[in-house]
Chain A
């Protein structure tokens, strides 16, 4: 598939990225080997050397797992190498392996929106996507839009319009709103309702959210006018849509 060609652009396995070296597994190496959250970086290196996780071939196709297999994700513009079982969801990989806990686990059934991240620029429920199927595809989480002290325009609008209370649904709404504005920089109230119709809030912050998205759209339009000579770039901006990447094609 289309993403295959991009593999060469990335550092070789096992990863040159800092993230893959992190002590991302917290229960000891045993957990990864037995139950499956992942393997320690050192162990992964050994495994890669021994080719212990090489796939079987059937019908001319690689068959991976069910134990941990090497995966490369592209999260927030960085390649990340992980050893995960095929059954690991993108959400669990982000939260429990990479400690990117902005995406929340609420329903874990694709019905609440709190785990929304952007895959190839489109909002998806990270709980309902297998990590193995989104390798080499740009994944963007709320952490990439800004941080306290350097918030993106949309996040600033959420703060200023008090579009959050307990805040547990907020990152999901921010990502859904980001995708909406990326595809439609000047949304009407109806567009906002449609774009945020896959997310729920329990504290009741919808009034602030409407204002926040409208305010962010206005702020970003003003920014664009200022920077109209430069290439248009916003937080969350992604390359144009292409067919999705695929696992081990």
Chain B
């Protein structure tokens, strides 16, 4: 690690002032489970680390009554993934989210990793992690395309970005309609979580839309209001492993009929992928196994395999189908 100075502010105003706007100079540190590795490998080389865990008001889940029925949930970005997984209020409203939090990595990670860190962690792309840059280009050519891309993107992979967004929680939170609260030198702004992510077009661009020096302070969830939320992750190992493809769905139902659907894929594109085709397909139809399978097909209709990741198209297709079956409470096929 490059030497750095460390400050532990108590307020978000202090944090933002200490952080400044030059990402090369300073960085925010929350749980550190991702950042420390990046710093050890000199992928991140900040001269200053602004440690956020002392900042007040950024931990915990609180219920907030709105004028509409129910209360929305405001979740501090520094809430650990472990605390999220055990939160009663969140679990009551969105059991799928607490369950997913309980599946993140292993206990040691969940105890330090934060909600904000989970959403903003850097991609796991092994070219990026081995120091070849986020876009992994050499002589203007993508190393991913010619290299080993078994875990890379099957959607949104027109280039130059081929990595996948790794957050376990982002697809579910987007499906649930989450907004994020961002705080920077120009004050606070709110953003739909799905707008936070972007596909970088040039090396040096980031995979999110945070303004320089801005911090993520909260995630705000609307009341579930009868929506059915579920996710399905395909994991090879049951021990400390990343999902190979994830689908998160949220359904507004009128009886067995879907009135509105959100279908978000994880681990398959440089951003949490909104499967618009599947959402459209589901709308107004009665959800059964057949429709779930068709929605899976629709979700990957535009998927394009790289040289070694064709299997991920099948995984994404199945993940969507199974998430829908789970959300609708249908029994497993063939069971």
Contacts and interface: CB of A to CB of B under 8 A. Distances in A.
Interface of A: 1, 36, 58-67, 85-87, 89, 108-111, 113, 116, 119, 122-125, 127-130, 132-133, 176, 179-180, 193-195, 197-200, 243-244, 246-249
B17 A59 contact: yes
Interface-central residue, B7, B39, B54, by most chain A CB under 10 Å: B7
A123 B3 contact: no
Contact of A87 (B3, B10, B33): B3
The 6 closest A-B pairs by CB, nearest first: A198-B106, A66-B3, A86-B6, A59-B17, A246-B54, A122-B111
Contacts of B136: none
Interface string B35-49: 011011000000111
B215 to A, nearest CB: 14
Contacts of B105: 198
A108 B1 CA distance: 12
A86 B107 contact: no
B4 interface: yes
Interface in B23-66: 29, 32-33, 36-37, 39-40, 47-49, 51, 53-54, 59
9 contacts: A58-B7, A61-B8, A64-B6, A65-B4, A87-B3, A130-B6, A133-B32, A198-B106, A243-B59
B291 to A, nearest CB: 33
Given A59-B18, A133-B53, A65 B6 contact: yes
A118 B5 CA distance: 26
Contact of B238 (A58, A85, A193, A246): A193
Contacts of B240: 111, 113, 197-198, 200
A61 B32 CA distance: 21
Nearest to B7: A63
B186 interface: no
A125 B1 contact: no
A61 B18 CA distance: 8
B108 A110 contact: yes
Given A108-B40, A122-B82, A244-B53, A132 B18 contact: no
Contacts of B239: 193, 197-198, 200
Contacts of B39: 87
Contacts of A123: 107-108, 111
A85 B33 contact: no
A248 B8 contact: yes
A89 B40 CA distance: 11
Given A110-B109, A133-B32, A244-B53, A249 B10 contact: yes
B32 A65 contact: no
Contacts of A64: 5-7
B122 to A, nearest CB: 13
B5 A197 contact: no
A62 B82 contact: no
A67 B109 CA distance: 28
B109 A125 contact: yes
A109 B37 contact: yes
A87 B239 CA distance: 29
B108 A66 contact: no
Contacts of B7: 58-59, 61-64
